Amino acid sequence: MREHGEVSDRADSGGPWWRDAVVYQVYPRSFQDSDGDGEGDLRGIAARLEHVRQLGADAIWLSPVYPSPMADGGYDVADYEQVDPRFGTLADADALIAAAHERGLRLLMDVVPCHTSIEHPWFAEHPERYVWSPRDDGPPNNWIASFGGPAWSRDPRTGRWYLHSFYPEQPDLDWRRQDVRDAVAGALRFWLARGVDGFRLDAVDHLLKDSQLRDDPPASAPPVLPEHADAERLEQIHSRNAPDIGGALAALREAAGDTLLAGEVYLPWRQLAPYLAHVDCAFAFELLHAPWEAAAIRAAIAAALQDDSSGEQVAWVLSNHDFPRLPDRVGARNARAAAMLSLTLPGAVFVYQGDELGMADGPGGDPPHDRAGRDRHRHPMRWDDDLPHGDFTVSEAQPWLPAIAVAGGGVAQQRTDPDSILHLYRDLIALRRTLGAGLTFLGEDEGVADGVLAYRRGDEHLVALNLGDEPRPAPSAGRVLRRTHAARTPAGLAAPVQLLPGEGFLAMI
Ligand code: NOJ
């Protein structure tokens, strides 16, 4: 494990720091409230950094903390170079960056370049920076917003129609304009000057669209990655993913220098080449959406690794603030196998806060905070079951979403339980550093039973996971380094002959 205060640059392994890194996603509103207003904040995050360090993560990705009317949980930014008072101040951000670095943790900001909040001063003061319909009597085409409904709305002030790839409160910037590129690049420089180590780039597949604003044709098949039902009816070949995306991304790259750019590009991996030419890594969403079956999971991993099994440009993600949490998506029984899977893949891996506790979805807000129904995946972190609100906030406060209990207990409880999923995450993150390069799947010929996913890492390590509903014979292996369920067989023993559903191991070959 790294020493306190040491920010490793992986110079020994010859790669940049993010190669095979573990990035821990903090959803600031739900991590830790320090001032008793029921919402998490930057000082709260600083106070909980030790948890992230002990987990063994390399970096933190901070979902947006900028001033925002919160129509989209902060992804509607009203000022790229400030902190929303609900989260603290710029001084708090500086203190958090410094505190993270002291603990050897890097910090990534979330940049939302595709759109601003409709309340960003630019919308009134620089309307030319946005995408407008050339006609004043309505939308110029049939484009659909990602959350459903038309992607065009009428600006009541001017009567003109503007484009919004997401909520109407999020007008799209026109990334063909140099002043837009310069302005957002300036925001990246602003945060780099404050010491951040890189950026997660939001929704970059929506950054550039067809300059002629042509209609999207009707879809002939369901999309590879699921969309809102309205959006799935069209093949989105013009409303996003324009072929000349390179110029826009190059502007972001130039501003970022050699710091990390992790792209959220919501497209199948085979379409990512123009993005990967400029960003360091991109999320592999096919794996997140793959059904929990050995063949489908294998195909999704193979799609992202393609010919390069080092996973050099892959950011694995099984969970984030937009999708049902792991126990709800893959089943509670499989949450540990999901952890073992993502943490033993080659490439960077992103872990969403609470996953390390096995946290499930909650009831959501009433009335909802998010109109797209994502409150359920955003409940407060559970620090200690013995304290009010799980110690997310003070007892008198009303958390913005209920601080729900977690089946396996809060952080304090799981810390003392060697069979907890928290220990599994920690152990796997530590073991991950020792795994060999590349990934090779094992098949039937190597004795892998139906329903079992098995792969080698380098020449020495083997991972086997039973993703099916029945007990299955385990592939033969040497000494076990970690089992998903530690209490059943301690590490260091010979590999088991059978894997129960949801069970798996990491072993020497
Ligand atoms: C992706 C973000 O993760 C999501 O929360 C947001 O709603 C959209 N991009 C739009 O910014």
Question: Do 195 and 98 lie in a common domain?
Answer: yes
What's the gap in Å between 146 CA and the centre of ligand 1? 10
pLDDT for residue 355 is more than 80: yes
Could you tell me the pLDDT band of residue 295, with boundaries at 50, 70 and 90? very high
| Atom 11 in ligand 1: residue holding the nearest Cα | 75
In a domain, 65, yes or no: yes
Average pLDDT over residues 71-90: 98
Q: Is 202 close to ligand 1, i.e. is its CB under 6 Å away? A: yes
Task: State the pLDDT at residue 5.
Answer: 44
pLDDT for residue 4 is more than 60: no
pLDDT for residue 318 is more than 80: yes
Q: Is 203 close to ligand 1, i.e. is its CB under 6 Å away? A: yes
pLDDT for residue 70 is more than 70: yes
Domain residues for 465? 440-508
- Overall domain count for the chain: 2
Task: State the pLDDT at residue 488.
Answer: 60
Question: Do 397 and 475 lie in a common domain?
Answer: no
Which of 391, 408, 432 terminates a domain? The answer is 432
Which of 402, 432, 462 terminates a domain? The answer is 432
CATH code of the domain in which 445 resides? 2.60.40.1180
- Which residues are registered as beta bridge partners of 109? 62, 199
pTM of the model: 0.97
Q: What would the two tokens of residue 410 be?
A: 């809060």
**Which one-letter DSSP state was computed for residue 144?**
B
Ligand 1, residue 147: give the atom nearest the CA.
7
What's the gap in Å between 154 CA and the centre of ligand 1? 22
Task: State the pLDDT at residue 489.
Answer: 61
Ligand 1, residue 76: give the atom nearest the CA.
11
Report the alpha-carbon distance of residue 32 to residue 66 in Å, rounded.
Answer: 17
Task: State the pLDDT at residue 1.
Answer: 36
In a domain, 282, yes or no: yes
Task: State the pLDDT at residue 10.
Answer: 46
What are the pLDDT digits (tens) for 387-398? Answer: 999 999 999 999
DSSP letters spanning 475-506: PP-SBEEEESSTTTS-TTSBPPSEE-TT-EEE
What's the gap in Å between 123 CA and the centre of ligand 1? 20
End-to-end Cα spacing for the chain:
24
CB 167 within 8 A of CB 68: no
pLDDT for residue 187 is more than 70: yes
Least confident of 13-17, 133-137, 417-421: 13-17
Q: Is 175 close to ligand 1, i.e. is its CB under 6 Å away? A: no
pLDDT for residue 383 is more than 80: yes
Question: Do 416 and 474 lie in a common domain?
Answer: no
Report the alpha-carbon distance of residue 437 to residue 414 in Å, rounded.
Answer: 31
Question: Do 305 and 383 lie in a common domain?
Answer: yes
Q: What would the two tokens of residue 197 be?
A: 């180590």
Question: Do 280 and 373 lie in a common domain?
Answer: yes
pLDDT for residue 2 is more than 50: no
Beta-carbon contacts of 12 under 8 Å, excluding residues fewer than 6 positions away, are none
In a domain, 427, yes or no: yes
What's the gap in Å between 202 CA and the centre of ligand 1? 7
Ligand 1, residue 72: give the atom nearest the CA.
7
What are the pLDDT digits (tens) for 202-251? Answer: 999 999 999 999 999 999 999 999 999 999 999 999 999 999 999 999 99
Task: State the pLDDT at residue 491.
Answer: 65
Q: Is 112 close to ligand 1, i.e. is its CB under 6 Å away? A: yes
Task: State the pLDDT at residue 309.
Answer: 85
Report the alpha-carbon distance of residue 244 to residue 378 in Å, rounded.
Answer: 35
Question: Do 329 and 356 lie in a common domain?
Answer: yes
| Atom 2 in ligand 1: residue holding the nearest Cα | 202
Q: Is 147 close to ligand 1, i.e. is its CB under 6 Å away? A: no
Report the alpha-carbon distance of residue 407 to residue 413 in Å, rounded.
Answer: 11
Could you tell me the pLDDT band of residue 164, with boundaries at 50, 70 and 90? very high
Task: State the pLDDT at residue 11.
Answer: 40
Q: Is 75 close to ligand 1, i.e. is its CB under 6 Å away? A: yes
CB 461 within 8 A of CB 435: yes
What are the pLDDT digits (tens) for 98-154? Answer: 999 999 999 999 999 999 999 999 999 999 999 999 999 999 999 999 999 999 999
Least confident of 42-51, 62-71, 488-497: 488-497
Question: Do 386 and 446 lie in a common domain?
Answer: no
What's the gap in Å between 137 CA and the centre of ligand 1? 29
Could you tell me the pLDDT band of residue 306, with boundaries at 50, 70 and 90? confident
Question: Do 311 and 348 lie in a common domain?
Answer: yes
Report the alpha-carbon distance of residue 205 to residue 193 in Å, rounded.
Answer: 27
Q: Angle of helix 335-343 relative to helix 421-432, nearest 10 degrees?
A: 10
Question: Do 481 and 351 lie in a common domain?
Answer: no
Ligand 1, residue 165: give the atom nearest the CA.
10
